[in-house]
Amino acid sequence: MFDKSKIGQSFPPFTIEVERGKIRELALAIGDDNPIYQGREEAQAAGYPDVPLYPTSATTFTFWGNRKMISQVVSLGVNLAGVLHGEEEYEYLAPIYPGDKLTGVMTLVDGKTRQGQSGSSMDILTIEIRYTNQHGTPVLNARQVVIARS
């Protein structure tokens, strides 16, 4: 069971530089060959100043940027074996382009333990990561719900 006293706790910030190649790699892994994600020239030809973020690029900021994420989630008392992803949400607050240096702060914003059948119970946690850019401007909020066996 996760530690309810940790609700509201934030972790030390992590930083990630937005890279063109990571955007292209994600688009191609998804099977999207839209040229705007392939390179700056292609993006500019379509009217963008540079390669735009893929709609789900923030997932790469978390996995590649926050190398302590797993130990941080474990420190909340979460059982990572068989953890399920329930929900993911992005709020896009301002433009983000390659070369931007983002700072992310992860916070456990909500959590509850739900009793299931046969005496088992599940932890349902809402984790938010707020990103600001190199100018201190809030640019993106990512929120995820994870479900873990207690």
Partner 1 sequence: MTTNAQAPAKLYYEDVQVGDELPRLVKGPVTHLQLVRYAGASGDFNPLHTDPKIGEALGIGGIIAHGMLIMGFVGQLLSDYVGPTALRKFNARFKGMTRIGDEISCTGTITEKYEADGEARIAGKLQAADQNGDVKVTGTFVAALPHRA
Residue 35 engages partner 1 in binding (rule: CB under 8 A): no
Task: Write out the binding residues for partner 1, residues 10-29 only, by CB under 8 A.
Answer: 22, 25-26, 28-29
**Helix runs in the chain, H state only:** 20-30, 40-45, 58-60, 69-75
Is residue 92 within the footprint of partner 1 (CB under 8 A)? yes
Separation of alpha carbons 9 and 1, rounded Å = 17
Site string for partner 1, 93-132 (x = CB under 8 A): xxx-------------------------------------
Contact (Cβ atoms closer than 8 angstroms) between residue 24 and residue 39: yes
Query: Does residue number 47 form part of the binding site for partner 1 (CB under 8 A)?
Result: yes
**Cα–Cα dist 70/92, whole Å:** 25
Alpha helix ranges (H) inside 51-111: 58-60, 69-75
Enumerate binding residues for partner 1 (CB under 8 A): 22, 25-26, 28-32, 34, 36, 46-49, 52-56, 59-60, 62-64, 82, 84-95, 137
